[in-house]
């Protein structure tokens, strides 16, 4: 099965026990808005950790009715993150979300050796896009976390995103390893890594997916363009996961999809004990809502 759009994520969580999402440093208008909307739509059960007064002020100013919502008052944002992370590591919550606090502080807490959310896996960013011009949702990774992943990192990034799509119901997601060209070129490391990843997949050293690469962007998403080039590939034109060679390519692709293709995006961090919603202030409320939805679906 595949997801055609963000709304399909909703079908995945429909009728299931609501996941507990803990919002760390919750005194943040955009995050609160998205969390409350997701709560009202029965997608999650939120726990707000942060400055209670600030939270109430924002809710009052925006007419958010939070009757019955659990709020844990921790005024220091850093302490709030620690409290939220501890709740997750002690299984009192299923999803972690960042509120009004810097990403670095959250990551530091996640990686805490005693009470953090480490699993030994690499943390990676996973963005899911819905664009009118593609026949299903497409994941792009890593566009925000790993700067210049080595082959070893790329294996971990693929494994993280494949496991996530497996949880979303994909049996064998199709992974395209992106390059500037579809040919192997000794001077382009991305194409060499792509060849190695393909072979490891053939040998079942990377499981539960079909990997092909290098594929240029057009070959990855358009069967016609792959056929024009005479590429025989199970992945070409039907990609579920686009693996980026590095953060520059990933970030530019992410932003061009949002700005030029008007794509919807949902993003989470993978590799920790639970999915983490780590959206940035510049993300729209819709993107934050969809990210919560994705995290809830991926934590099933």
Q: How far is C-alpha 253 from the chain's CA centre?
A: 15
Pick the stretch among 19-27, 229-237, 240-248, 250-258 that binds another protein (CB under 8 A). 229-237
Candidate list 214, 237, 250, 271; residue touching another protein; CB under 8 A: 214
CA dihedral 234, 237, 241, 242 (to 10 degrees): 110
Using the 8-state DSSP alphabet, how is residue 52 labeled? H
Q: Decide if residue 187 touches another protein (CB under 8 A).
A: no
- Largest pairwise CA distance in the chain: 63
Minimal distance, residue 134 CB to another protein, in Å: 24
**110 cis-preceded (ω within 30 degrees of 0):** no
Which of 79, 229 has the CB closer to another protein? 229
Residue 203 binds another protein, judged by CB under 8 A = yes
Please say which residue, 93 or 211, places its beta carbon nearer to another protein.
Answer: 211
Handedness of CA 221, 224, 228, 232 (dihedral sign): positive
**What DSSP designation does 222 have?**
-
CB of 197 to another protein, least distance (A): 8
Task: Work out which of 73, 200, 246, 286 binds another protein, going by CB under 8 A.
Answer: 200
Where are any strands of DSSP class E within 51-151?
70-73, 95-98, 124-130, 138-141
Assess contact for 278 and 287: CB atoms under 8 A.
Answer: no
Segment near another protein (CB under 8 A); pick from 79-87, 124-132, 137-145, 193-201: 193-201
186 binds another protein (CB under 8 A): yes
The interface mask with another protein, positions 164-183, x = CB under 8 A, is: ------------------xx
């Amino acid at each position: 099965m595949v997801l055609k759009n963000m709304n399909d994520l909703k079908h995945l969580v429909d009728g299931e026990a609501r996941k507990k999402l803990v919002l760390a440093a919750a005194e943040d208008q955009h995050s609160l808005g998205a969390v409350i909307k997701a709560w009202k739509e029965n997608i999650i059960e939120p726990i707000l950790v942060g400055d209670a007064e600030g939270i109430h002020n924002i809710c009052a100013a925006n007419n958010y009715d939070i009757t019955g919502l659990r709020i844990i008052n921790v005024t220091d944002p850093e302490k709030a993150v620690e409290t939220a992370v501890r709740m997750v590591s002690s299984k009192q919550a299923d999803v972690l979300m960042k509120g009004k606090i810097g990403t670095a502080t959250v990551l530091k807490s996640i990686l805490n050796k005693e009470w953090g959310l480490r699993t030994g896996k690499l943390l990676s960013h996973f963005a899911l896009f819905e664009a009118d011009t593609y026949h299903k949702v497409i994941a792009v990774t890593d566009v925000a976390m790993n700067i210049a992943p080595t082959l070893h990192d790329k294996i971990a990034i693929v494994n993280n995103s494949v496991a996530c799509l497996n949880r979303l119901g994909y049996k064998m997601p199709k992974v395209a390893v992106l390059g500037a060209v579809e040919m192997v070129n000794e001077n382009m490391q991305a194409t060499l890594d792509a060849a190695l990843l393909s072979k490891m997949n053939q040998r079942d050293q990377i499981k539960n997916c079909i990997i092909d690469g290098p594929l240029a962007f057009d070959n990855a998403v358009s069967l016609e363009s792959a056929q024009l080039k005479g590429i025989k590939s199970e992945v070409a034109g039907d990609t579920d996961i686009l693996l980026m060679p590095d953060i520059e390519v990933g970030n530019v692709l992410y932003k061009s999809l949002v700005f030029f293709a008007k794509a919807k995006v949902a993003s989470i961090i993978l590799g920790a004990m639970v999915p983490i919603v780590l959206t940035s202030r510049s993300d729209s409320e819709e993107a934050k809502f969809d990210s919560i939805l994705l995290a809830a679906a991926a934590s099933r």
